[in-house]
Structure 1
Amino acid sequence: MDDRQLESYLRIQTSLDKLSAFLTFNRIDDQFACKPEELERFIRSKGITHGIRTDVLNGISSNVLAYCKEQTLVAFGQEAQAGKDGYIRFIYDMKDREHRPAELEDGKVDYKEVSQLKNVKRGQLIAERVEAQFGPSGMTVTGEEIPPKQGRQARFKVGKNVVLNGEQTALYAAIDGLITMTDKDKINVFPVYEVNGDVDYRVGNIDFVGTVVIRGNVLSGFRVKAAGDIRIVGGVEGAELESEASIEITGGIMAGNKGYVKAAKTLKSSFIQDGNVIAGEDVLVSQSIMHSNVRAGRAVICSGTKGLIVGGVIQSGELVSARVIGNTMSTATVIEVGVVPELRHELSDLRVSLKSHSENLDKTDKALTLLDQMAAAGQLSEEKLGLRIKLGATKRMAVSEIEQHRERILEIERMLEDTDKAKVDISHTIYGGVKIVIGRYTKFVKDSVQRVSFRYSEGEIVHFPYFA
């Protein structure tokens, strides 16, 4: 059959996005017969040039009755694919935040060696922005190219003592110091302050804008505050430690219920006894946590051959993991997971701040609109011109603040949504006398149980077999 004859039998339709073409029979009788190449010529005459399914055309040609009652997909296009997201490439592996001590040739560990810190010189490149890539372009069934999609661009979160180049593609150190990721992943270069001995009356309290390394003990009654990391090669007594990044204590904490240790990110210690500890992310202990109050935004992990938690209150957003919890004397021990009060307070504050910024931005926009109208009418005085420039800068700053607030709100909301994944893992034994709290639910452990994982399920706390 020629195209004119086929026209009375067939109809070709395309989808709105032009990614699919369909063949439909208007009518069918004993006179209809066609070859695959005739069908393809007819389809092409309707503007369909890409993705034609020759196997389907062969099927229609050999068995018309199987296709005459419904639409048949005879051509399909290709959607444009999203490209790879951009990312920030550092000169150091910033994921390795544990600052492991150096291991010597004989297998021993030298806790005094801190050469693994991420030191940089003034003017040295810290990180580069790798551009997002475009994915493959698409093609409609009518042969039109669908423009490719670009991945999401990365951006620098600029902190202290760093500078961007003019193209906003590279980040450099403004001072000699240590690269440190602080809260909200801001990139900073902090100078390092070292104490070769104990923090005592000879040294006094420390309040430093960078990273502090102490090669000794921090004695009771003293205070160490740092905008960067705090690393202590000795132990901590009843002192006050506060870091806007992470804290590592190789000798452990024996606080006598005095002072506190607070890290915005992660705290690592060999043991905690009679201490008050707060960490924005994780608390990692290699021996034991005894009679202490410990709070972590994400996880409290007590590992090692002892791996003991007994006494006190342990609170964590997602996970508490230990080898042993409680003891044979049923010492009162409280384990709480699934609730992060600090995040809820931060979320509330962010929403109030976002509303305030949005209202201020609206007022700024209205003022700029009025000034733009005056400028168009040639009525803008020199004083009003200065105000217009100032308001423009205010608007850019407000837009940036609003964007950062929204990103942080989404990040916190995702973390709060994950509270149903909260759990308490025990790789050896949990004893009677332990109180387990997950979200709003409470369970008292009466008898000792081995190798279990406590989780929330259908309105109650239940335990499952623990698998490492």
Structure 2
Amino acid sequence: MGNIHDIFNLTISKDSMTVSMDKKGEFELQIFDEDTVQNFLDDHKIVYGIDETVVKQLTEASYDMNVFPVVIAKGLPPTHGKNGEIHFIDGHNNVISHEEKQNFRDVYKIPSKKNGEKIAYITKPTLGEVGFNVYGKEVRQIKGKHVKVKAGKHVEFVESDATYYARADGQLSVNDKFIHVYPTYEVAGDLSLKTGNIDFVGSITIRGSVPAGYTVKAAGDIHIHGLVEAAYIEAGGSIYISEGIAGLKKGKVIAGQDVKVGYINQATVEAGQDLIVQNSIIHSHCVAQQNITCQNGNIIGGIYSAGKLITAKDIGNKMYTKTELSLGVNSKLREKEKALHKQKKDLLSNKNKLQQLGDSLKLKEKTSSGISSKERIILLKQRRAMEQTEAQLEEIENELSELQVSIGNLEEMKLLVKGIMYPNVDVSFGKYKKSITKEYKFTQVYMDDHEITIQSL
């Protein structure tokens, strides 16, 4: 048997993870026992990952010398650990899907979270496992890295469930280092097609104006530093508009609490508490559950309802423009109530007619002659019509029961006019109404012993 060192050489990869065995030249077929092959590898200090199949082939008479070079040993590569990952519950992008778009002004959505809501959770990194090279030495693995994103403003990270929680209602903001929840969303200038409509879980500040056709909704407050045109503004809290509302008969502003504004012109405004106007209100429809106050201006034209107090410099004008003031009653809901009562009356009349028709046909059905096939069809239609009418009546009754037409307490209500109250002004306290037919100066109007009383301030 020849010397195995003279016949073969070994090539070890730079990373010491692979050993290739190759013949040095042409020679006659020779057989080596396993000990000889093992000693050959030992001489090169190869102890790990030896391919026993290759070793055995060298001990057999039938092995093919043409298969060389052949890999005779392989190390075990380390299993590197996986990095920790952050998983957002509902995503945090601002792209609006086609299904979510309602009009072309719906450009993007504000990623928002409510107080206590889960934002994201993390999966911890894994350690991985060490490997071994062909010399039997450990090859260290790379351990997975921890998520480095920290809980920022109004966000808490809870270790027990590795979850980020919002600690305020607001806008979700995520970067490489922090997760924040900002209670206020800010627009630097006017609303435009670039910003689109806004619907936000916190408060909103708009440094410019809101043009016609746009919608702004907030669960908190809304601050608008410019003008509101024929737009829709709705807030769960208060609404502050530095300039005014030029509603063009289409603008609508609704607040759960106060509305404070420079002026109102041809708009609908509803305040859950007070409506405070720096200057005048003209040809508008306003409802305040508490007070309507024009601090330095007039109320001219339109319909106004308040639960406690209406205050203005002048009411109406020299042109005797029709102006309606209601205390203790939401005049808008009162009109709806009247319409519902009319619908109810018409439906009851219709139901009575249907009842008579049905009774007549049922009576005839019991006679010997019976009813014709045509009359039978009429009876079926009558039953369906009765069911529909009864369903409509039930719906109207539900609406009527939910309407809160009355607001405030009549005894606490008052109209204060610091200047002139002109003719063609209607003043209502609940069901009591008085039409003004002459000018009154520096006047207060209130209820006294079930009568509307006008008295000087």
Bigger Cα Rg: 2
Determine if the TM-score, normalized by the shorter chain, exceeds 0.5.
no
Normalised by the length of structure 1, the TM-score is 0.44
**TM-score in terms of structure 2 length:** 0.45
